[in-house]
Structure 1
Amino acid sequence: RGSIEDVVHRCHAAEVPFDVLVKRAAELSITFVLTAHPTQALPPAILTKHRAIWDLLMKRQLLNPVPKEGRAMTHELLEEIMSLWQTEELRTTRPMVQDEVEQGLYYLSSILYDSLADVIMTFCQEVQRVYGRSMPLTSFMRFGSWIGGDKDGNPNVTHESLRWALLRYRQAILANYLASLERLQERLTHSDQLCRFSPAFRRSLANDRRNFPALAESLDARFPHQPYRQKLAVMVYRLRQMFRQPSESEGGYAGAQALLRDIQLIRRGLTHHRAELVAEHEVAKLSLQVSLFGLTFAKLDVREHSQRHLEAFAELVRLHGLSSEDPRVELLKGCSPGTREVVHTFQVMAEHLEHVDAEAIDGYIISMTHAPSDVLTVLWFFQQTDLFRRTTRGWWSGANIIPLFEGIDDLRRSHDIMETLYRHPVYRQHLAARGQCQQIMLGYSDSNKDGGFFPANWELYQAQRRLHAVAKAHRVRLQLFHGRGGTIGRGGGPLHQAIVAQPWGTLEGRIKITEQGEVVAAKYANPALAMRNLELVLSAVLEATLINSRPPTHVSDWEAAMEELSQVAWRRYRQVVYEDEAFVSYFEQATPIDAVSEFRIGSRPARRTASRRIEDLRAIPWVFSWVQSRQLIPSWFPFGWAVEQSTRHDRKKIEALQRMYRQFPWFHVMVDFIQMSLGMADMRIASHYAALVRPRRLGRRIFAEIAGEFERSRKAVLVMTQQRELLDSNYVLKNAIRLRNPYVDPLSLLQARFLRQRRLARDRRVRRRLDRAIALTINGIAAGMRHTG
């Protein structure tokens, strides 16, 4: 289930016509966005060792070596393992933004560059095999990135690091293309003495000779009678020119389309003299890769907090009024450093789009969007920096403006905010310039911290339906951008299930998803894993778009029941987490949040401000700390209370929930995610963390509430799923937890002990030793639980 073969066969079995399948596939827009949230506990050197060990294991399995070769491979494997054991697994310094960009590029360059194209080619081949007709290669899956552009709460991401990141992504993809062209140069040795080259190809090569006379003199000497190798030599030269500064890159390709035309020319030329097998393999793959990655590898999203824009706007209006004669200069006169940084960021975006690559930036994300003014303020900055302007061909806008709705109140008002924007005449012009397409980002992390797992996910479900209806009414093509984290408490969990469970009719083949921190390493550590995870998402989107797109007739009754459950869970969660003043103290003492805040796993601070309030703590360390202490309350609390209060042990209501679990995909997935979290939590271990709390009676009181709710939720899940034990229906995960716990449990007990000692220690050297010991347990528990933030 979830493979490309499975979904294509199911489309065929559902009598989806070939033409419809091809049309809908061409309309798909699936984007994975790499982020640099501080959830990756392992440094790059360890990840590289893991990859090397995996490569050696795969090599042994595939080659089935003779004894002598097998002994050599075993020796090499042991060398890598020994090296891994003696490699420092703790970061000695907090990573810089540049380090995070390089880590993202490691996955893009060494794994995703090939894997993404391979998945699409596999899909097209399977369609041809099942339907008996060939379909064109289409670039419907892409990767984007926040790494280097996520300014929200991270003072280390500046307009200068943004400028550097944009150029670094460009250099990385050029290096990959260069390596691919040089491989083709070795392969395409076809002779003009044996093959009849197409007239179009011969004309193109003649033009190259005229345009690059210095290079033309050496082509015949280096590659006599080998026109493809001559053409590729010119292409290699032109790519190398593009590594220079834009002002010095004379002779380079003007854009990705120009490079793509040359590759397509070679592909058609090969077909012309009946070398289709060559044309439709490596050359076709490179053509697809250029379509997928362009000249920027992963389109960058820039993100900033709405308050920063409002503060900068207020200062600029006070100093200069609403506009100035020369905005690039006048806007900066007399401004504070914060306002200068806001303006410089927009200017860097405009300059790169105009002078380097018009496709390098996908969108500008506005964190904590509370009102239409938060979006219109960014549009004003777009106007002032020429990111949105009138041209001779009409209005032009350089990037999407993406509101991010995070808190539950904002989710509830999101459709009203968008209704106002869709009616605004200037915003309508921006939308027209962007092809009537609107991206809207939904925050899973802060909404969960705000209202608890079940209420937050229900509000997200409703918000999607309302946003889709408003966009449809205004004839706007909506692409929802899901800010999913690694853990279930931050919107994580099996992505295939989550996509299939989206509200009926809201997906329409367009989805954008964040891939955060440890998720990147877990999903894309090697090509086989990458292929499998990309397949799962593609099959889920096709299933939701082509097979299960119509809702059942009784969905309104289900939604009424979910609303009741959500309201009860919301009230209970707020009562315990926010209204009990002692809960903050419990959280600070019964979890390793103090150590997590100091752990050097990301360039971004753990808190937005110095405040102790839960509202000001970032969702990532909030979830990370609950996972480490084995309580995991962001992923399940207080589901059992909600079920108990809503049903009052009424058999008919319980049976109705059981039917919904079987028939309502969204509820089924939510219950399964809660079940997974309960299966990974451990109240026996958690009690040792609760024992750290002072005064003791506070720790005992709050832990009793958590443990009691855990038991209620466990029973509620068993009733819903009609199982005897948690995870009976998911043997793989159940067995994995049983295998991992004997290794994780001692680390948890050691961590609780070290935390107690660290909080009492007065000697600086003792504290340093304990800090290292705690950091090692954090790494170990994160690896064993397969979750950080």
Structure 2
Amino acid sequence: MSSPVKLSYRETTFNQEVVTRFELYNSLFQTLPFYQVKDTGILLPFFSSHCEKETAANSSPTEIIESFFKKYVPGIDHQEQINRMFRFIQYIERQVVLFDAVEDSSFNKIGRTDDSGSLQSLLQLAAQSDKVRDDISDKLKKFSLRLVLTAHPTQFYPGTVLGIITDLIEALKHNDLNNIDVLLQQLGKTPFFNKTSPTPVDEAASLVWFLENTFYHAISAIQSKLEEEFDIDYANDHQILELGFWPGGDRDGNPNVTTETTVSVASLLRQIIFRCYYRDFRVLKRRITFRGIEKTISRLEKLLYHNAFNNQSNPKDLQSELLSLLNSVKQTLITDHDSLFVNIVDGLLQKVRLFGCYFATLDIRQDSRVLRSVFTYCTQQSQIKSGLAKEYEDLSEEEKLTTIPFNEADFHCDEDADDMTKDTLNTIRLMQQIQYSNGEKACQRFIISNCQRSSDILQLINLFLWSGWKKESLSVDFMPLFETVNDLTHAAQVMESLYVHPFYKEHLKRRDNRQSIMLGFSDSTKDGGYLMANWSIYKAKVELTAMARKYGIDLAFFDGRGGPPARGGGKTHRFYASMGTEIANEHIQLTIQGQTVSSQYGSVETARFNVEQLINAGIVSSLKPNESDLLNKNSKALISEMADESYNLFMALRQHPLFVEYLEKYSPLKLLSKINISSRPTKRNADAQLKLEDLRAISFVTSWSQLKQNIPGFYGVGTSLKKVKDEGKWEEVKQLYQSSGFFKTMLDNCSMSMSKSDFRVTAYLEHDKKFAAFWKMLKAEYDLTKAMLLELTGTEVLMQEYPVERRSIAIRERIVLPLVIIQHYALQCLNKNDHPELNDVYNKLVIRTVYGIVNAGRNLA
């Protein structure tokens, strides 16, 4: 008889604090009589266990649903069966929230049992000697971390639900049974989805909730700790912690964003930060009641209240004035009042320094093809004496670089210009106004998506000069986004031609020789598959770093969702800690979105922990670079060979004649546009027939996750591992996995992605006349990848090294399995078309299940 497996302290804590408490509160939740259907909560456990048992037996979704109602609720008609399914969905959506809340409330006990990677471990390192402390201080003077919130529709709770979740987490921390009971009742009666699609401003408001309720407190707390422990100087205007914001500025990601949207979001960000300041000020006012400060306090109050609660017609940046007033109060307290309550003033001073009048930098993003079209339009207008010949478009890239005039003008486009041209030029002007109202950092980055050549950036700069901006005061950073495998290959050449270009060289000098480059984003994985996307980004980083160092440029990489840190929702900080010296790593910038926002930054505690880990990763990797993270020539050749093999397999899959049809028939792809969690269309060229290249990456990934197949997170990995093993290179791969943080993180994230896959749900397709071979091909690659990963890691189950995370994923998957079954049942009904009069109802069933499955996913592949 084998002895029981001994659980670690963290696993035991997870079982006690999360699993047991979830089961307890879930049983309480299921007794609540919602929606006049008292037996739904009683039936749901039977339905869940029935789905588990029958899925294990490879029954089809139709067989599972029909056998359930025949066994447990015989005698009800089909319409009533559908009604019951809708009730199940309502309960399960809330079970997901309950599990999240229980897990988040236990974070302090589970997430922090190991302080490695936290700020605390950095302080312990600093305590070793004055020299180490000085070294860390020096690193912090150059290091920066920027988290950029984006509005990708992978989780979208309404603000009302977010508020309940926050209160529920707090009640669960103290096991406040009465309050938990009331909040669960409120949760049961509060709608989880919008009746209409949110506008881009609605999406911005939803994310601003996190800025106001978590980031404002977490970022300032970390800043305080850093100031307390290390020598940090404000004089050089270097900011360690920065926030970015895409909703309202990202036109490429969302064609529904307009100049008016950008105005509204910039105004919202300004107003909300003033409300945060005003709340803090009220605490300050209650304490500082001394003589000699009354006028200053009164002026502060008027400024803060007026800007927090009254609409401003033409506001100006007040950061300097606020700092001056607060410093005046501080000085009086020090001089006349024994420094009493100086700490309260210091707290508000620090926040005003951190967030100014803008809260988070609003990035503008547009596709290079749109920008080229606008440039062509402008060159044809007589008001701009561009000096460009009409055949400019026919010039070679080298000729264009010497021809672009960089002449200043104050051009306004004609009424006959198309909406995209008007919006682009109006937005360029608006950036100047936002900088005046909210501060320079409020809107100073323009990201060029699908950037393919240097002229894409230089032509955009000329658009700025034709829109009232002056060369000497062009306070904007122009940031290329290289995303396809081909663009990543040529990225270093593009940047070199910019670094040596006379005008751009001067512009960079005025911007302190700092260049940010965005890499990856979602389309990289859709374009080249998992391994190739990761490897192409890595190679591009090495080449771009070498190029920047050659020309003395301070380089920052901005990692999009498609980059290595986020694939599979894995350990982002491990990725950054594993950067070798070949890759610039003094600045960490990354997008956070969807479930990542709520799962990693949904509470002040989790936000602090995850931000601290990123700071630690950046500082320690530059302080003590791990030599094994510097890939040698053989390792690079090995990964490159695997990436090529994986790429070929992924491209063959993409070109398979059944690829798009399979997604359309067996995933909710066609219905995603009807789901009111996003203001953006699911594909570009909305009116055209669906083509893979037009499909937005987020829709692509979401569709595979709903299928429980997560193809973008693993496909091709198994085949590439097998190839190098068959060639006798298996020991090299094993050694690489043990020594290289980059390679290990990449494969561990792949394992996490696979842990969220379940091919049993679609096993019925094994016998489908049309799709059997296609399904078997996907399943075979999944099985091969799993087998190869287990052999490589020497483990028996995926994610064995991360048992708590594995258990968390397994529980979430079990909670939503009934939703997955209901969704696939409804899709089967739609595909059969036996009841065309019910197609609208089946569509609604599919749509409603998507919410819960996505929300439970927390970091989809």
Name the counterpart of 2:250: 150
* Partner-residue secondary structure (3-state), 2:381: helix
Distance 1:146 1:102 in 2: 12
Name the counterpart of 1:209: none
Shift of 1:396: 1.7
- TM-score normalised according to structure 2 size: 0.79
Name the counterpart of 1:118: 221
* Partner-residue secondary structure (3-state), 1:744: helix
Distance 1:74 1:601 in 2: 32
Distance 1:698 1:276 in 2: 79
* Selected match of 1:336 from 414, 418, 438: 418
- Show CA shifts across 1:646-670 (max 9, x none): 22162xx211111111111101101
- Show CA shifts across 1:267-324 (max 9, x none): 3443446755732x32222111111111111111011111111112112222338537
Q: Is the 2:569–2:860 Cα contact (8 Å) retained in structure 1?
A: no
Does 2:715 match 1:612? no
Alignment of 1:584-603 (within 5 A): 584-603=660-679
Name the counterpart of 2:288: 188
Shift of 1:38: 1.6
Alignment of 1:539-578 (within 5 A): 539-548=616-625, 555-578=632-655
Name the counterpart of 2:104: none
Q: Is the 1:180–1:286 Cα contact (8 Å) retained in structure 2?
A: yes
Does 2:738 match 1:628? no
Distance 1:337 1:162 in 2: 15
Q: Is the 1:631–1:686 Cα contact (8 Å) retained in structure 2?
A: no
* Selected match of 2:463 from 344, 363, 381: 381
Q: 1:100 to 1:335 in 2, by over 3 A?
A: same
* Selected match of 2:756 from 680, 691, 702: 680
* Selected match of 2:828 from 739, 743, 756: 756
Name the counterpart of 1:442: 519
Does 2:801 match 1:715? no
* Partner-residue secondary structure (3-state), 1:319: coil
Shift of 1:518: 2.3
* Partner-residue secondary structure (3-state), 1:506: coil
Name the counterpart of 1:39: 154
Name the counterpart of 1:786: 858
Does 2:768 match 1:703? no
Name the counterpart of 2:96: none
Does 2:127 match 1:18? no
Shift of 1:139: 4.0
Distance 1:758 1:87 in 2: 30
Q: Is the 1:181–1:232 Cα contact (8 Å) retained in structure 2?
A: no
* Selected match of 2:201 from 98, 105, 111: 98
- Show CA shifts across 1:528-558 (max 9, x none): 2222221221111122222226566762221
Q: 1:357 to 1:787 in 2, by over 3 A?
A: closer
Shift of 1:729: 1.0
* Partner-residue secondary structure (3-state), 1:413: helix
Distance 1:335 1:377 in 2: 18
Distance 2:372 2:789 in 1: 45
- Show CA shifts across 1:321-342 (max 9, x none): 8537994455336423332222
* Partner-residue secondary structure (3-state), 2:345: helix
* Partner-residue secondary structure (3-state), 2:300: helix
Q: Is the 1:635–1:674 Cα contact (8 Å) retained in structure 2?
A: yes
* Partner-residue secondary structure (3-state), 2:590: strand
* Selected match of 1:430 from 483, 495, 507: 507
Distance 1:353 1:379 in 2: 17
Letter of the 1:177 counterpart: Y
Name the counterpart of 1:257: 320
Q: Is the 2:578–2:626 Cα contact (8 Å) retained in structure 1?
A: no
Name the counterpart of 1:204: none
- Show CA shifts across 1:445-468 (max 9, x none): 111111111111001001011111
Distance 1:788 1:136 in 2: 40
Does 2:800 match 1:728? yes
Does 2:294 match 1:172? no
Q: Is the 2:408–2:465 Cα contact (8 Å) retained in structure 1?
A: no
Q: 1:238 to 1:45 in 2, by over 3 A?
A: closer
Deviates more, 1:516-525 or 1:544-553: 544-553
Q: 1:494 to 1:769 in 2, by over 3 A?
A: same
How many residues end up aligned between the 2 structures?
Answer: 720
Letter of the 1:312 counterpart: V
Deviates more, 1:444-453 or 1:234-243: 234-243
Q: Is the 1:97–1:161 Cα contact (8 Å) retained in structure 2?
A: yes
Q: Is the 1:441–1:482 Cα contact (8 Å) retained in structure 2?
A: yes
* Selected match of 1:299 from 361, 364, 377: 361
* Selected match of 1:536 from 608, 613, 626: 613
Distance 1:600 1:759 in 2: 23
Shift of 1:673: 0.8
Does 2:211 match 1:108? yes
Name the counterpart of 2:745: 669
Distance 2:437 2:819 in 1: 53
Letter of the 1:264 counterpart: N
Letter of the 2:242 counterpart: R
- Show CA shifts across 1:674-701 (max 9, x none): 111222211212325x46x9xx334111
* Selected match of 2:260 from 156, 160, 163: 160
Name the counterpart of 1:221: none
* Selected match of 2:441 from 359, 379, 396: 359
Q: 1:536 to 1:469 in 2, by over 3 A?
A: same
- Show CA shifts across 1:349-372 (max 9, x none): 123324653331130111111111
Q: Is the 1:490–1:619 Cα contact (8 Å) retained in structure 2?
A: no
- Show CA shifts across 1:472-505 (max 9, x none): 1111111111112699875742211121123434
Q: 1:415 to 1:611 in 2, by over 3 A?
A: farther
* Selected match of 1:49 from 136, 153, 164: 164
Name the counterpart of 2:182: 79
Aligned-CA RMSD value: 2.6
Distance 1:4 1:185 in 2: 32
Sequence identity (%):
26
- Show CA shifts across 1:392-440 (max 9, x none): xxx2212111111111100010111111111111212221222211111
Name the counterpart of 1:460: 537
Name the counterpart of 1:659: 735
Letter of the 1:259 counterpart: L
Distance 1:701 1:299 in 2: 49
Q: 1:686 to 1:544 in 2, by over 3 A?
A: farther
Q: 1:712 to 1:677 in 2, by over 3 A?
A: same
Question: Which blocks of at least 5 consecutive residues in structure 1 are unaligned?
Answer: 62-72, 129-133, 192-225
- TM-score normalised according to structure 1 size: 0.86
Q: 1:787 to 1:554 in 2, by over 3 A?
A: closer
Distance 1:255 1:369 in 2: 36
Q: Is the 2:665–2:831 Cα contact (8 Å) retained in structure 1?
A: no
Q: Is the 2:734–2:792 Cα contact (8 Å) retained in structure 1?
A: yes
Does 2:354 match 1:284? no
Shift of 1:756: 1.6
Distance 1:700 1:716 in 2: 24
Does 2:579 match 1:502? yes
Q: 1:336 to 1:649 in 2, by over 3 A?
A: closer
Does 2:377 match 1:312? no
Shift of 1:246: 6.3
Distance 2:631 2:449 in 1: 36
Name the counterpart of 2:35: none
Shift of 1:118: 0.7
Letter of the 2:709 counterpart: Q
